[in-house]
Amino acid sequence: MKNVLNPALFTHREGTTEGFNNLCTIIHQLRDEGIYSGEIQRGKNLIGNFTLCFDKKFPTHEVHIDAAKFDPLFNKESCGQSGEQTFEVGGQGYLVLYTSGSHADLRVKLYRRDEKKVERSYDTANLSTGDMVVFRLARPGSYRVQHTTEKHGMTLAVRSAGERKYPSGLGKFPPINVKLTPRGFDPAQVEQWPFQALIIQIEIPGALRLELRDEKAASKKAKRR
Amino acid sequence: MPTVNLAVNERAFNEVIKGLGKKLESLPPFSDTGSFGPFSLRYDLGFRLVDGSVDLTNTGRVHIDELQLTYDPFILTFGIDLPHIHVGGECILWIPIKGCVLHLPEIDIWGGNPDITVPVNLSHTIVSEFSGEFTVTTRKQILVAKGTLSDHQAHATPDTSNEIRDGFRTIISSTLPFLPAAQVNALADALVPYVKSNLADKWQFFLHDVWHDFDLIDIAATAANILRNLVDLIIDKILAPVPDLLKDIVKAIISPIISAIEAILDIPDDILEWLSSVLQTSFGLLDVIAQFIINFIGSMVPFYQFESNYPMIEDSTGLIPVLVPVEKLAVAVDDDELTVSADIL
């Protein structure tokens, strides 16, 4: 029997925004209207290009770009449509960057195109103030989210149900919000269910790293309850 | 008017049943697909005769008693088209008047087109039983191929036509419409030798269905358990690639689907009755098999036949045989034998 479940859900345990994987979604808000060209890299390899048009008069406030859709091998296996080459966004201008596949080490660069020159306006490897980083973790355990240069960190505990059943609303719980300010993460400790989203509002530029510290910590805690 | 009596005992009937059994075994497995609520169901099935007997009764009827069939192979394949389940898609920024302006991405739990098939092997685990009562009917076979031949010429001429074969093909294809043409032809060809001989007209004796009963009567405990735990089998198949640590998490996410499968595959304790109902409702399978047996003994292979111009004296020295026309047959059945009385013209 072929594999029915999405294998990408269980591939990764850790990640970083410098080269993101499917544990991480990066949200960036465009400020200046215009035409942008985008590059999607996997490691050192360029896997795709796109054009993005931002005009506040357009009706949609967000555009979702799935990096996996630019990989022709992924599209063949998942029977999906090939990645679109041109995107539009209007209104609030939110760009939602993620991958639905098991790809890792992804990086998206945006270049603003105007009449005279092309200049890089955004790079996911170097988050900007105002960005949001979303982690959605499936594996129970104790994690650490660390800013790569400012030494700020927070702990994230993904609960295990232990002997009991998981709640039936798993995957639909509201996200947990955290801020990363110049003073650090607020709150610095968070506990959540598997597949519950953790949204980090970025107020200092840089990158974040997610590490799994102890996979068994969550089940030990569940047994103690 | 002189008459002649012929007697046929139970052995002749049992030979026909044995022949039926051999033919069933030689049938290649056949299959069909049907719907069973939101699921699809397919069977791949071949069957064998295990036991059974024919009794002559003093009511003038022939009783077929507990003809047992077992099934090998017998694969029931359940197909399930799973609905998509997503995680994510939450609204994370809502602005008055504008509404939700920012959502998180949706991730599909399934890898692609979420349909699964679960084959359940029930070979050698199910037994059916066919019983019935039949009257004896007679039919005169007059082959078109005989043409203008005289009775003596027809007696001496082998039937090389395809008339009997083509008739069998028609009966088999209408009884088992899902059987591919190649299998229909193969089965018809296998049955022809039971009937075909020369071009002479013949009286043929068949068993005509008065009533019959065909049911599943037994299922092995192992097979019953497999069916009883079918939902668990399906869930285990879905979860097979998931690391053990995450199985309970995925089960919680797909719990709406588990509940739906449990509700629909609510297999009662009486597994045999459930299976019988499934096979009959989705495919009419039991009716099909019963009808095949009835057609076999009722219109294809006579349990006895003889030439209507009966060869009273055969001569091997080259003289023409003495053929005596036999008409106005009367058939009587008692405990011991079937007796045919006829007028000799």
Question: Does residue A184 sit in the same domain as residue A156?
Answer: yes
**CA–CA min distance B241, chain A (Å):** 7
The verdict on a CB contact (< 8 Å) between B87 and A172 is yes
**CA–CA min distance A115, chain B (Å):** 30
The verdict on a CB contact (< 8 Å) between A1 and B88 is no
**CA–CA min distance A164, chain B (Å):** 10
pLDDT band at B41 (very low <50, low <70, confident <90, very high): confident
Please report the pLDDT score of residue B336 as a whole number: 81
Question: Does residue A221 surpass a pLDDT of 70?
Answer: no
Question: Does residue A136 sit in the same domain as residue A116?
Answer: no
Residue A215 contacts B, CB cutoff 8 Å: yes
The verdict on a CB contact (< 8 Å) between B251 and A194 is no
Question: Does residue B10 surpass a pLDDT of 90?
Answer: no
Question: Does residue A112 sit in the same domain as residue A186?
Answer: no
Least confident among A20-29, A40-49, B324-333: B324-333
Token pair in block for residue B132: 């019935």
Is A20 a member of any domain? no
Please report the pLDDT score of residue A111 as a whole number: 94
CA B156/CA B29 separation, integer angstroms? 39
Q: Which residue of B has its CA nearest to A29?
A: B102
Prediction ipTM score: 0.90
Token pair in block for residue A1: 């029997």
The verdict on a CB contact (< 8 Å) between A165 and B252 is yes
Mutate to test the interface with A, among B106, B238, B249 (most CBs of A within 10 A): B249
Question: Does residue A145 sit in the same domain as residue A167?
Answer: yes
Q: What is the 3-state secondary structure (H, E, C) of chain B?
A: CCEEEEEEEHHHHHHHHHHHHHHHHHCCCEEEEEEECCEEEEEEEEEEEEEEEEEECCCCCEEEEEEEEEEEEEEEEEEEECCCCEEECCEEEEECCCEEEEECCEEECECCCCEEEEEEECCCCEEEEEEEEEEEEEEEECCHHHCCCCHHHHHHCECCCCHHHHHHHHHHHHHCCCCCHHHHHHHHHHHHHHCCCECCCEEEEEEEEEEEEEEEEEECHHHHHHHHCHHHHHHHHHHCCCCHHHHHHHHHHCHHHHHHHHHHCCCCCCHHHHHHHHHHHHHCHHHHHHHHHHHHHHHHCCCEEEECEEEEECCCCCCCCEEEEEEEEEEEECCCEEEEEEEEC
**CA–CA min distance B82, chain A (Å):** 9
Residue A10 contacts B, CB cutoff 8 Å: yes
The verdict on a CB contact (< 8 Å) between B103 and A168 is no
Question: Does residue A156 sit in the same domain as residue A73?
Answer: no
Q: Are A209 and A146 in contact (CB under 8 A)?
A: yes
> Which chain A residues are closer than 8 Å to B245 by Cβ?
139-140, 215
- Give which of B2, B3, B4, B14 is closest to B304, Cα–Cα: B14
> Which chain B residues are closer than 8 Å to A197 by Cβ?
88, 90, 92, 104
Question: Does residue A47 sit in the same domain as residue A94?
Answer: yes
Angle between helices B221-228 and B230-239 (to 10 degrees): 60
Instruction: Give the rounded distance of the alpha carbon of B183 from its chain centre.
Output: 13
Mutate to test the interface with A, among B103, B248, B254 (most CBs of A within 10 A): B248
Q: Which residue of B has its CA nearest to A5?
A: B110
Q: Which residue of B has its CA nearest to A171?
A: B87
Q: Are A34 and A114 in contact (CB under 8 A)?
A: yes
Q: What's the whole-model pTM score?
A: 0.73
Question: Does residue A220 surpass a pLDDT of 60?
Answer: no
State the average pLDDT over residues B109-113: 76
Domain termination residue (choose one: A102, A123, A144): A123
Q: Are A143 and A204 in contact (CB under 8 A)?
A: no
**CA–CA min distance B221, chain A (Å):** 26
Please report the pLDDT score of residue A211 as a whole number: 95
Residue A35 contacts B, CB cutoff 8 Å: no
Q: How many CB pairs under 8 A join A and B?
A: 121
Q: What is the 3-state secondary structure (H, E, C) of B239-289?
A: HCCCCHHHHHHHHHHCHHHHHHHHHHCCCCCCHHHHHHHHHHHHHCHHHHH
CA B278/CA B275 separation, integer angstroms? 5
Is A18 a member of any domain? no
Is A178 a member of any domain? yes
State the average pLDDT over residues B53-80: 87
Please report the pLDDT score of residue A1 as a whole number: 43
The verdict on a CB contact (< 8 Å) between A92 and B253 is no
Question: Does residue B78 surpass a pLDDT of 80?
Answer: yes
Is A17 a member of any domain? no
- Give which of A185, A179, A124 is closest to A150, Cα–Cα: A185
Residues in chain B: 345
Question: Does residue A81 sit in the same domain as residue A155?
Answer: no
Is A6 a member of any domain? no
Question: Does residue A150 sit in the same domain as residue A116?
Answer: no
State the average pLDDT over residues A189-202: 96
CA A216/CA A157 separation, integer angstroms? 11
First and final C-alpha spacing in chain B: 7
Is A14 a member of any domain? no
Mutate to test the interface with A, among B102, B107, B118 (most CBs of A within 10 A): B107
> Which chain A residues are closer than 8 Å to B251 by Cβ?
166
Please report the pLDDT score of residue B19 as a whole number: 75
Q: What are the b/e assignments for B27-54, b being 16+ CB within 10 Å?
A: beebbbebeeeebbbbbbbbbebeebeb
Residues 133-152, chain A: which have Cβ within 8 Å of B? 134, 136, 138-140
Please report the pLDDT score of residue A208 as a whole number: 97
Please report the pLDDT score of residue A77 as a whole number: 53
Q: Which residue of A has its CA nearest to B107?
A: A100
Percent of chain B with pLDDT over 70: 97
CA A220/CA B116 separation, integer angstroms? 35
Residue A171 contacts B, CB cutoff 8 Å: yes
The verdict on a CB contact (< 8 Å) between B111 and A197 is no
> Which chain A residues are closer than 8 Å to B98 by Cβ?
61, 91-92
Token pair in block for residue A195: 């597949």
> Which chain B residues are closer than 8 Å to A77 by Cβ?
112
The verdict on a CB contact (< 8 Å) between B88 and A77 is no
pLDDT band at A207 (very low <50, low <70, confident <90, very high): very high
Question: Does residue A40 sit in the same domain as residue A71?
Answer: yes
- Give which of B71, B73, B77, B81 is closest to B43, Cα–Cα: B77
CA B55/CA B337 separation, integer angstroms? 9
| DSSP 8-class letter at A127 | B
Please report the pLDDT score of residue A181 as a whole number: 96
The verdict on a CB contact (< 8 Å) between B103 and A62 is yes
Residues sharing a CB contact under 8 Å with residue B15, sequence separation 6 or more, in sequence order: B303
Please report the pLDDT score of residue A30 as a whole number: 96
Question: Does residue A81 sit in the same domain as residue A146?
Answer: no
Question: Could you tell me the sign of the dihedral formed by the alpha carbons of B158, B159, B161, B166, in that order?
Answer: negative
> What phi, psi does A223 have (nearest 5°)?
-70, -35
User: What are A26-46's pLDDT values in tens digits?
Assistant: 999 999 999 999 999 999 999
| Greater pLDDT, A82 or A125 | A125
User: What are A134-173's pLDDT values in tens digits?
Assistant: 999 999 999 999 999 988 999 999 999 888 888 878 888 9
Helix, strand, or coil here: A70? helix
Please report the pLDDT score of residue B337 as a whole number: 83
Q: Which residue of A has its CA nearest to B249?
A: A166
pLDDT band at A3 (very low <50, low <70, confident <90, very high): low
Question: Could you tell me the sign of the dihedral formed by the alpha carbons of B187, B193, B196, B198, in that order?
Answer: positive
Domain termination residue (choose one: A123, A157, A183): A123
Question: Does residue A217 sit in the same domain as residue A156?
Answer: yes
CA B206/CA B203 separation, integer angstroms? 10
**Where does residue B316 rank: exposed (0-12), middle (13-18), buried (19+ CB within 10 A)?**
exposed
The verdict on a CB contact (< 8 Å) between A171 and B88 is yes
The verdict on a CB contact (< 8 Å) between B105 and A100 is yes
pLDDT band at A225 (very low <50, low <70, confident <90, very high): very low
Q: Are A144 and A132 in contact (CB under 8 A)?
A: no
State the average pLDDT over residues B20-47: 78
Domain termination residue (choose one: A77, A105, A123): A123
Cross-chain CB nearest to A174 (options B87, B90, B252): B90
State the average pLDDT over residues A106-127: 87
Q: Which helix (H) or strand (E) holds A67?
A: none
Please report the pLDDT score of residue A186 as a whole number: 95
Hey, how many other C-beta atoms are within 10 angstroms of the C-beta on B228? 15
Q: Are B92 and B46 in contact (CB under 8 A)?
A: no
Residues sharing a CB contact under 8 Å with residue B155, sequence separation 6 or more, in sequence order: B198, B199, B200, B307, B309, B311, B321, B323
Question: Does residue A141 sit in the same domain as residue A99?
Answer: no
Sheet strand arrangement including A176-181 = A62-66, A94-98, A24-29, A132-136, A197-202, A176-181, A184-186
Helix, strand, or coil here: A95? strand
The mean predicted confidence, pLDDT, of chain B is 85
The number of folded domains in chain A is 2
- Looking up tokens 């049911």 gives B215
First and final C-alpha spacing in chain A: 39
State the average pLDDT over residues B17-42: 76
Is A75 a member of any domain? yes
Residue type, B294: I
User: What are B205-257's pLDDT values in tens digits?
Assistant: 888 999 999 888 888 888 888 888 888 888 888 888 888 888 889 888 888 88
Residue A94 contacts B, CB cutoff 8 Å: yes
- Give which of A92, A120, A223, A108 is closest to A162, Cα–Cα: A223
CA A214/CA A12 separation, integer angstroms? 15
The mean predicted confidence, pLDDT, of chain A is 88
Mutate to test the interface with B, among A4, A132, A158 (most CBs of B within 10 A): A4
* Full domain range(s) for residue A195: 132-223
